[in-house]
A = this chain, B = another copy of it.
Amino acid sequence: MGRWEPNARGRLEQAALELYVERGFENTTVAEIAERAGLTERTFFRHFADKREVLFAGSAVLGDLLAEQIAGGPDTAAPIDAVMSALEATGALIQERGDWSRQRQAVIAANAELRERELIKLASLADVLAEALRRRGVAEPAASLTAEAGMAAFRVAYDRWVQQPGNRNLPRLIRESFDQLRAVTAGH
C-alpha cells in the first residue's frame, strides 16, 4: 500500500465522472482520471478494478444496505412493505449524492455496454432482496415476486427522479411508485 491520500476514492469518482461527461466514457483513460484527481494510476487501481467499476462500485453498498434493512425491519411488516422501506432508505442515500447520481445516469444512458451493466447490477439487487426475504421466512415464489415487483417500482421511481430537472424527493417518488404498483396489479 502507498501513502494515505485524503479522500482518494471520492476524488477519483469525481474526476472520472467529470471526464466521462466531458469526453465520453469510451474516450477517457485511467491515466487521465488519476491525473485529474492529482493521484497515481496505482492509487486508482487500489480502489477500482477498471474505469467501468467507478460507476458501479456503489451497488455493493446498496445491496448491503438493502439486506440490513430487510433483516432489521419489524417482524410484523408485510414483505412488500419491508421491501418498500428498504428501497426508501436506499433512495435517501442516492438522493444525498443527487448531482453525481444524475450525471452518472447520463453517462450510462449514452453507452450500450454500461446500460447492460446497470441492468445486471439492478437484477443482482433484486436477488439480494429475495434472499433477505427468504431469511425472514418468506416462502418462494412470494419472495422472488415481491423482490422483483419491488425493484420494478424502484426503477420506475428512479427513472422519474433522474429525469426531473428540479429536486424532487426520491424516497417519496418510491412510495408513490409502490402505490401505483398496487393499483396496476389490482387492475385499476
Binding site for B on A (CB under 8 A): 78-81, 116, 119-120, 123, 141-142, 144-146, 148-149, 151-153, 155-156, 159-160, 177, 180-188
Contacts and interface: CB of A to CB of B under 8 A. Distances in A.
* Complex copy number for this chain: 2
A79 B79 CA distance: 24
Nearest to A138: B184
Contacts of A155: 148
Contact of A142 (B79, B116, B184): B184
Contacts of A184: 79-80, 142, 145-146, 149
Contact of A145 (B120, B146, B177): B177
Contact of A149 (B81, B116, B185): B185
